[in-house]
Amino acid sequence: MNKVALLLLMIFSQLGFALEVDEKLTLRFLRTSSSKKTVLINRGLEDGLAEGDHAKFYIDSGVIARGVIVKISPSRSVWSIYSLVKPDEVILERVVNLKISTPVKLTQDNTKMISNNDSPANSLVPLAPDAYDDPSVELSETEKKELSAMEESSEVVVNSGMFAKRDYEVWGMIHFTGLGSTSSLGDQTSNTGDNTSIDISVGFEKYFLGMNNWLNNISVHALFFNSSKNVQALEGSQSTSSVQEFGAGVNYHLFNPPNSFGHIIGHLTLSYGIGLVTDLITIKTLNSAEDPKEFSGSSNFLSVGFGVKYYAYNGFGLKLLLDYYQRGELYDIENNQDDFTKNVSGPRFQVGLSYRW
């Protein structure tokens, strides 16, 4: 019964209430593909649209795109965009106007029907010279009021899709343990200390969403890493090690495009950097303590790992990273002929939050 009703609605909509050329609608982009050649809008059969309809999309400043309906339902329609006048305006949740237009005029030059260039600008349907839209079209006062009313209406929440922009990201990740310890020998006075560790990484990441080649899956980042570890030995001696490092790296994304939201994105990551290290050692027994000895040096590190990212449509995200980290440390000790070296390596697991814009 429902299928029959839907069929009757489709027929009735297309025959009885189909929009005529130059009729207008106010709409919102619900989804856009990464190339912006396919868009989903919140208008469909119930609004008088029909599969095969051609239309211009425009805002206050003029026409931004032109397309044709390739799939339609009562309240939604999918459009194939064949003329991108202002690509930067075709973005998620953008409120625009639609004007029904005559079908596109294709060029008569057969040599221009197929392009060897796969970039979005060159993969659109080629047009005849008189088919391009005049970008000077402006909204009437009534249409401006419709746009204003729709912008003030309840927000459309989209669970998954692709960011049209959001090429930049800031993030922070942490690994933390906080323990206290006490050591004693029989009834003798006990010593207390810490067994704590905190690793914090903050970074800035740049994506290349506008590239139409392998660089689209690449991002680069700069990071600052701070690590502090405290360990108490059995007899009470305390060792504190701190590290501050700056680095840079590159990520290659897997499973889903890096501008996806509502989907898990995998990524391989490689980072390298340099920094400063400090070791502070306090020798203690149950009855005495020596003055702390501090050793300062330089470091360099290499990190190779795999992580996952997940973003909401508003740009906030969650990051998980499992990597293998190796750090070399070099200490120039006064009155020692040779330098002290130390190597720190092993797997790490970090979790954090991010924001893209």
Are residues 257 and 123 both part of a single domain? no
What is the predicted pLDDT for the residue at 91? 84
If one counts the domains in the chain, the total is 2
3-state SS assignment for residue 116: coil
Contacts of 20 (CB under 8 A, 6+ apart): 100
CATH number at residue 52: 2.40.10.340
Select from 70, 66, 22, 21 the least CA-distant residue to 44.
70
Are residues 34 and 127 both part of a single domain? yes
Are residues 89 and 195 both part of a single domain? no
Residue 328 domain flag: yes
Contacts of 187 (CB under 8 A, 6+ apart): none
What is the predicted pLDDT for the residue at 144? 53
Q: pLDDT > 70: what percent of the chain?
A: 69
Give the whole-angstrom CA distance, residue 261 versus residue 258. 9
Are residues 349 and 224 both part of a single domain? yes
What is the predicted pLDDT for the residue at 335? 72
| Per-residue pLDDT reduced to its tens digit, 94-143 | 889 998 888 765 444 444 443 333 333 433 444 444 444 444 444 456 64
CATH number at residue 205: 2.40.160.20
**pLDDT-flagged residues of the chain (< 70):** 1-20, 104-160, 164, 177-195, 212, 233-236, 284-289, 336
Are residues 29 and 54 both part of a single domain? yes
Domain's final residue, options 93, 128, 158: 158
Are residues 345 and 198 both part of a single domain? yes
Are residues 150 and 187 both part of a single domain? no
Domain's final residue, options 125, 158, 191: 158
Are residues 211 and 141 both part of a single domain? no
What is the predicted pLDDT for the residue at 134? 42
Are residues 197 and 140 both part of a single domain? no
Furthest CA-CA distance within the chain: 100
Are residues 252 and 125 both part of a single domain? no
Residue 163 domain flag: no
Cα–Cα distances in Å, from 231 out to 190, 320, 349? 16, 27, 20
Exposure string of 93-110, with b = 16+ CB inside 10 Å and e = fewer, is bbbbbbbbbeebeeeeee
Contacts of 248 (CB under 8 A, 6+ apart): 220, 221, 222, 223, 271, 272, 273
| Per-residue pLDDT reduced to its tens digit, 232-283 | 766 667 788 899 999 999 999 999 889 888 889 999 999 999 999 998 887 7
- Cα angle 99, 102, 105; round to 5: 130
- Domain residues for the domain of 123 are 2-158
**Hey, what are 39's tokens?**
């868009």
**Hey, what are 21's tokens?**
């050329």
